[in-house]
Structure 1
Amino acid sequence: MCDHGDERLFSHRCPKGQAAGAEAGVHSLIIGVSNYPPRPRSLWHLPFKPIPFRNIDGAALGAAKFAQFLDGRFREPTGVSVHSIRLLLSPTEEERRHLDVPEALWTEATFHETRRAIQSWYRDCNNNEGNFALLYVAGHGLVLSGGMVPLTFLGSVNQEGEPCSQSINVYMIEEAMKFNRAQSNIFFFDCCATSDIANKFPVHCSPGSGIGLPLPSSGTETRRHVVAVRSARTGSDAYSAGANKGTAFSELLLPLMNTAGALLDGFFTVTVDRLDEDLRSGFSQYPEARGQEPRIDGRMPTGINRPVPPPTFHLKLVATGGSSIEFRILNESGQSIAEGVVGGRYAEMELPSGRYRIVKNEQGVDIPWGDLDLEMDRTIYL
């Protein structure tokens, strides 16, 4: 049996009666930090003046919503089930009023608990080569030119004489996961980037700062597939969608994790290309902000998510030629699932994503219009 001792997990579904690692699973670690208490007077005497990190409403709430999504509508496309979800949060007081996750299911994102969770998550991921490792981190972060995220900061960053020691070394974790037995990795980094340090490490930081994972002294990379989704907007106004909503990134990402896809092997599946395209398009509606707009690196040939039930899209049928047109819509089995008449304007309906055939009826004769892959809202001219 899987044994996590006294560790608090948001969700834990190890197969009953089996030893840890006997069956591949999705192991996820989700961290959201919004609360950054100010620097205490006892540190005012220090010679360097670290950048004061202020509260950013939304990071913790967005992370909590992502955990709920994983526990509900996430389905790994090859059938690997979710085995564990660890959720670490540091919410602001305003966010706490909007969190609908019981405190018994999440852990405060302190330095000790974060380090413990990262190590435990790594061990779980490492117990089967078929595992799917997922990491989501939101909060203040350091972003270098080119979009690399080396550090994200814990809420205690203002409280210590060595601020960068109070960070998650995302770069080291990404590097260490290359040698983990989990052959599929996906990372989400939702950072509020500080403009003063956006293009370089602070002088008092080093590439080895913060909480990381040990790198092997030798060996070859075992990972087969990796996807990294990175967003870093500068300034809390550009980053936060509000204490009652989440971040700008999480507000866009979560719906798209159900709808930004295509039909793969006959099933609607969220794909890297569509997610990348729709994230960029979605952020174009926001005021322009400095930093790194969402970008996705890497490939996942099987897709990212196969939502159950599949999403529903809007289909609009428009008559051409000025006359009414009778129509039928058939599913892949040839069964008629919708029929009607497109009159002077149009006909509208909602259908689950899938492959359909549209048939027109003219003077009592069925005339195939063609096949339709419904992967998004569509308008069809008959």
Structure 2
Amino acid sequence: MLGVGRRHRRRALIVGAAVGSAAANRRHGGGGGGGGGSDSSSSDDEKQSKQKHAAPPPAYQPTSAPPPPAGYAPAGYSAPPPQAPASHAPPAANPYAAPSANPYAYGAPAAAPPPVLTPADQKYAVIAARLRGTPGFVEDPAGRECFVPVGDVPSLLYLGAKCHDKSVNISAVITRPDTPLFLDFIVAGKPETEVLRHEAHGEARALAHGQLRAFQEIQLENLPYDTDFSIITLYAFDRKMLSQTNAGAVVSDHGWHGALGFKEAAKTLANIEVDHPEEEIYMAMPGGETMLVVDWDQGNVDIRLAVLAVPSTYTKAFDLFIKGKPVKKFSIMFNPPVAKAGGRLQIARLYELDDLPYGTGFNEIEIHTYEISNTRPYGVKGALHL
């Protein structure tokens, strides 16, 4: 590498000398003679020596404005930033000082307080926590209500609990229309069991935000939380229609025509039992097992079906409803039976239509008698873990 570099450099010097010599001969008109060549060579050496020691030509400067007058900064000068007098200089920052507060900075919002749980919320949380592992469990936390399926047919019959602050409602629900079942709650050892009943004809009642549809529903209301739930049993029976009639046909058999008050009915109607203190009239129905009751107490007219305490009614169930309309009703079971009409009647069960629409006629009220069989009991305490 070093030898090659030197050869290239020497060649460049030789070529440069030749070009310089030829150029000098052209400037002085030198020819090709021997003596003349010597003088011109000497003259050329002197010129080259002068050119070598002469000052270099000035560098190229672009055309620019004339220099500024005296007292002004030269072009391209940048003045240093102004300095405040020593007396006005800011104090040195304290590295240990706390950072100053930003007046526009907002603190993090305060955490929301925990929700206040009512006694009903607390009771529901306990009951629902026990039941959540049950297959088919359905709940409505906002309504504090939950359900579990019971029975052999999936998703047909449910037991439910709805929590209030001081009490709980226990319900049983049939979720399919026209199901030939009859339901009832019995509280063992209690002289009177009142059961609220709902029945839908057509559109079902939605429960748990529509997760269940109730075509039949029975309910025990306002049971204290310290109730002994082991004595409460749901009974499901297969039912078969035995007979049906309407209240209009029954009152006509006893001579009822037009609108009658209690006193008029007591004087006019035949084959009846009258309870004057309660302002109730009992009208016997065919078969001798039931009586239609009209009650004028407290200025309202209520319609009831009384089931007499006779052995033939033990395998029968009864129902009242308004044809083609959803109704609210309740039933009461008496154990032992209660005496009515001055002790002349012994009543074992009572069915009543509640909140009858104004203007409802006797002919709209249906009375059904069922034969019941295949009794299936379901303990409430075990099913709902109460």
Q: Which has the larger radius of gyration?
A: 2
When normalised by structure 1's length, the TM-score is 0.20
TM-score between the two structures when normalised by the length of structure 2: 0.20
